Amino acid sequence: MTDKLREEVEALDSLTREELVARWRKAHGCPPPKGVKRNLLLHSAAWHLQAKRLGGLKGNAKQTLQRLMRARSDAPPDTKAPERRTTERSSRKPVRHLRGRLSPGVRLVREWNGRLHVVEVTEAGFLYDGKTYASLTGIAKRITGTQWSGPRFFGL
């Protein structure tokens, strides 16, 4: 990284949250997730600034991502309905409610108490720490030790 680029990245720290949100909108074409921390906005702005100056992803990585996206969109829809666990509270929405917005393979990332937690959406539910859960709420409770709305915890 050049000295000038390093200075530009360091200068991002002086931007207001609103300015960082504007950079996010420009880079991603949409507003940031609700409740996103300033630090993530800052890292996103820094990455995009560096990618613009240094070229971003290399050709092989771009080609691989494009190939995977094409393969995914060409795949036939799964006709088997996902298994559903019954719960005591009938007001809980089944996994398929979120599936309309979350395709298998999507990863949800949340930092909690200095630790990064990654959940992968699968055909069977939500995979976290080697175990499949029927709901994000169960995962949020495991992470925090208290009752949370799983979709809210993960910013959905």
**What are the pLDDT digits (tens) for 87-134?**
333 333 444 555 456 788 888 888 888 888 889 888 888 899 889 998
Q: Is residue 104 part of a domain?
A: yes
Q: What residues have CB less than 8 Å from 42, skipping those under 6 apart?
A: 12, 13, 15, 20
Q: Is residue 64 part of a domain?
A: no
C-alpha span between 151 and 24 (Å, rounded): 22
pLDDT single digits (tens) 130-153: 899 988 999 999 998 888 888 888
Q: Is residue 85 part of a domain?
A: no
Of the CA atoms within 13 Å of residue 68, those in its CB half-sphere come to: 8
Q: Is residue 82 part of a domain?
A: no
Is the domain of 99 the same as that of 149?
Answer: yes
The number of angstroms, rounded, from the C-alpha of 149 to the middle of its chain's C-alpha atoms is 17
- Count of structural domains, the chain: 2
Q: Is residue 69 part of a domain?
A: no
Q: Is residue 75 part of a domain?
A: no
**What is this structure's pTM?**
0.42
Q: Is residue 62 part of a domain?
A: no
Q: Is residue 66 part of a domain?
A: no
Average pLDDT, the chain: 78
Tokens encoding 79: 């006709």
How much is the pLDDT for 20? 93
Q: Three-state SS across 96-153? A: HHHHCCCCCCCEEEEEECCEEEEEEECCCCEEECCEEECCHHHHHHHHHCCCCCHHHH
DSSP label of 15: S
Domain that holds residue 131: 95-153
Residue 22 contacts residue 63 (beta carbons within 8 Å):
no
C-alpha span between 128 and 141 (Å, rounded): 12
